[in-house]
Amino acid sequence: MVSKTSPPQKVGPVRGRRDGFGKRPVYMAKTALISGITGQDGSFLAELLLDKGYDVYGIIRRSSSFNTDRIDHLYQDPHEKGTRLHLVYGDLNDSSSLNTILRQIHPDEIYNLGAQSHVRVSFDIPEYTGEVTGLGTVRLLEAVREAGIRPKFYQASSSELYGKAVETPQTETTPFHPRSPYACAKAYAYYITLNYRESYDMFACNGILFNHESERRGETFVSRKITRAATRIKVGLQEKLYMGNLDAQRDWGYARDYVEAMWMMLNTDRADDYVIATGETHSVREFIERAFGYLDLDWQEHVEIDPKYFRPAEVDFLRGDASKARRELGWEPTVSFDRLVKLMVDHDLQLAKQETEATEMQHVAVAKARWESL
């Protein structure tokens, strides 16, 4: 466990608190704990909270290779004074680690973003997905109770809950119809969060977030898969892109906007559940057309269908109505679909160019090595 003795840089709302190291000074920055800090949203949220002056603790899993790429730019040497980003080992499948972390950290806010978050993969590993994405939430909530603390709690709920949606647009009152093991696990997590709010008067919120993407999106989600492939095709690194269902339609926003909404939910007067969405829907086909078109490529020459990417049950259409969040939190999306596609393509084009340069250098090195061995 890392040390907690570093003084805060900026001061959030003032409060006193005990922790595992004895009585802390009365004037403290707020402390936040993020599960899933190494993921897309976790990395943006960590940035946001550090900017707001929080001490941020992130739970990371033991991995045989480094998996902190998305937060490496935020790294602070724990030996230095004033460190405000701390990484602690833990796992949503391991209650004892969660109990230890909460007993020692006493966060003011907890953001539960950790999950096996890939819908297609959840059909391959349904039981594991249920453990992490579903039961992981109750493990964290119970650890809060066992530590005897009263942090605010954010649960990363999902528009996947609507599944075979019974109305459009979807709001906080639209019934759920989950269509995957992932969505079933998220349904459990949603209801257990609500239950702890009602049973124990916890400040616990569900953010029902519609799809949100970015230059940090995992490369197997459809948006990033498309922008990575289109840009690699553009620079000649690959020829084909193999896809699943091009007719699926999603309400896609920009991840930076969405983590702001998470913070807003925990920093308002009353705990509640909110839909976060743009209110605009586009098909996967349109995403492809837009990304390839921006690069002056004809997508039909490069895209092929591989049935392995189809899902046993599909969510055909999602469109969210975020008017409650707009009205009560003042939240608005700031990035249009067009801008989202462009910013991801611009980012990935740079990556593809770097890849080309690296490949060329490798070729030169290999060629040189061959000559040297003659």
Active site residues: 158, 160, 182
Of 134, 142, 274, 273, residue with least CA distance to 199? 142
Q: Which of 122, 137, 158, 193 binds ligand NAP (CB under 6 A)?
A: 158
DSSP state letter for 87:
E
Q: Name the residue whose CB lies closest to ligand NAP.
A: 39
Q: Which of 135, 194, 237, 248 binds ligand GDD (CB under 6 A)?
A: 248
Q: Which amino acid is at 231?
A: T
Of 114, 92, 95, 93, residue with least CA distance to 103? 95
CA angle 73, 38, 157 (to 5 degrees): 130
Q: First-to-last CA distance in the chain? A: 55
Q: What residue 58 binds from ligand GDD, ligand NAP, none (CB within 5 to 8 A, per partner kind)?
A: none
Q: Which amino acid is at 335?
A: V
Distance of alpha carbon 226 from alpha carbon 219, whole angstroms: 9
294-323 burial string, b = 16+ CB within 10 Å, else e?
A: bbeeebeebbeeeeeeeeeebbebbbbbbe
Q: Among residues 28 and 291, whose Cβ is nearest to ligand NAP?
A: 291
Closest CB 238 distance from ligand GDD, rounded Å: 14
CA 14 to chain centre: 29
Q: Among residues 202 and 288, whose Cβ is nearest to ligand GDD?
A: 288
113 binding ligand GDD? (CB under 6 A)? no
What are residue 153's phi and psi, to 5 degrees?
-130, 125
Q: What residue 38 binds from ligand NAP, ligand GDD, none (CB within 5 to 8 A, per partner kind)?
A: ligand NAP
What is the bridge-based pairing of β-strands 241-243 and 303-305? parallel
Q: Which of 31, 33, 36, 57 binds ligand NAP (CB under 6 A)?
A: 36
Closest CB 100 distance from ligand NAP, rounded Å: 14
Residue with tokens 């060329």: 360
Q: Map the footprint of ligand NAP across residues 117-136, applying CB under 6 A.
A: 117, 132
What angle do the packed helices 181-200 and 136-147 form, to 10 degrees? 20
Per-residue binding letters, 162-201, with ligand GDD (x by CB under 6 A) = ----------------------------------------
Q: What residue 119 binds from ligand NAP, ligand GDD, none (CB within 5 to 8 A, per partner kind)?
A: ligand GDD
Q: Among residues 29 and 59, whose Cβ is nearest to ligand NAP?
A: 59
Closest CB 3 distance from ligand NAP, rounded Å: 22
Q: What residue 250 binds from ligand GDD, ligand NAP, none (CB within 5 to 8 A, per partner kind)?
A: ligand GDD
Q: Map the footprint of ligand NAP across residues 41-60, applying CB under 6 A.
A: 41-42, 59
Q: Among residues 114 and 151, whose Cβ is nearest to ligand GDD?
A: 114
Give residues in contact with ligand NAP (CB under 6 A). 35-36, 38-42, 59, 61, 63, 67, 91-93, 113-117, 132, 156, 158, 209, 211-212, 218
